[in-house]
Amino acid sequence: MTNQEAQFILNAYRPGGLDAGEALFGDALQQARQDPALGAWFAREQAHATTVAAKLREIAPPPALRAAILAGARMSEAPARSWWMQPAWLAVAAAVTVLLAVTAVVWPQRASAQADRLTNFAVDDTLYGRHGGHGAPGGALSVLLGQPSTRLGAGLPVDFTALRATGCRTLTLAGHDVLEVCFARGDNQFHLYMVQQADFPRLPAGEIADVGTRGGMSFASWADSTHHYVVVSNAGVAAIKGLL
C-alpha cells in the first residue's frame, strides 16, 4: 500500500476514533503510525474534521423553522394568502437560511482542505516519487526556473497542454493531471508541481496561499488565473521564499 492509497482510505475515517474497529482502515492506520509524513497528514485531517464538526454543531436553525414546518401541515385549513406567505414557502426559506449558514462555515474549510491535499501530495511525491521528465517545453521551463532573476510568484509562462504532450512528468490527483518540473538554483534542488484551476475550482486563486514546512520539506503554494502551483525542497523556508 502506497501513502497515496492510504490517504484515499483515511479520507473516509471519522474523527474521534469512531472507525477504529473497522477492518477497512487497519492497514492504512498501521501505515500512518509507521510513516511520519503520512502520520502528520492524518493528524491534520483529523483535526480539520473535528473543527468542521464543532462548527456545524454551533449552527442553530432559525427559531421559526419548526413552527413553519408544523404550520405547513395545516395549510389546507388556512385561508388563502399570497404564495410567498404560505407556510410551506416559509419553511423552504428557513431551510435555505440553514443551508447558507452551513455553506458559509464549510466552504472555506473545503478550500483549505483542497489546498492542503495538493500540498501534501506534492511533499509526499518529492519524498518518495521517481522524478524525471523530458521534452523541449519542460526543459525550457526548467532553465527559466533555475534563473535567479525568475520570480515564481510573479507569473510563469506555462503551456499545460504542451508540457503534458511532450513528456513532462505527469501524475494524477483526484482523477486530474498534475505536472512536475524539477530545477536547480545553486546547490539546491526544487520540485514545482502545477494543476489547472479548472480541474480544482475550490483551490484559492490569485494569491500566495501558504508557505511552511511539512514532513521535513519546505514548500510554498500559490496561484495565477489559470494554474495552481506548489514548490517543494529540502533547502529551507528562506530558500523557498527567495523563489517567490
CATH code of 213's domain: 3.30.200
Contact 192, 178 (CB under 8 A): no
Between helices 87-128 and 36-58, what is the axis angle to 10°? 170
Residue 11 φ then ψ, to 5°? -60, -25
- Tracing cell 473516509 back to the chain, one arrives at 12
Segment among 78-87, 123-132, 154-163, 173-182 with least mean pLDDT: 78-87
The structural domain count of the chain equals 2
Average predicted confidence (pLDDT) for the chain: 80
Residue 183 φ then ψ, to 5°? -155, 165
120 within domain boundaries: no
How much is the pTM? 0.57
Grid coordinates representing 177? 493531471
Task: Look at residues 25, 58, 91 and tell me which one is the last residue of a structural domain.
Answer: 58
Judgement on whether residues 130 and 50 belong to the same structural domain of the protein: no
Judgement on whether residues 43 and 148 belong to the same structural domain of the protein: no
Judgement on whether residues 132 and 239 belong to the same structural domain of the protein: yes
Give me the pLDDT at residue 134, please. Answer: 87
Whether residue 27 has pLDDT greater than 60: yes
34 within domain boundaries: yes
Write the CB contacts of 68 (distance below 8 Å, at least 6 apart in sequence): 87, 90, 91, 94
Grid coordinates representing 45? 485531517
75 within domain boundaries: no
Tens of pLDDT along 166-175? 999 999 988 8
The whole-number average pLDDT for the span 197-222 is 80
Supply the range of the domain harboring residue 39: 1-58
Give me the pLDDT at residue 204, please. Answer: 64
DSSP string, 148-173: TT--GGG-----HHHHHHTT-EEEEE
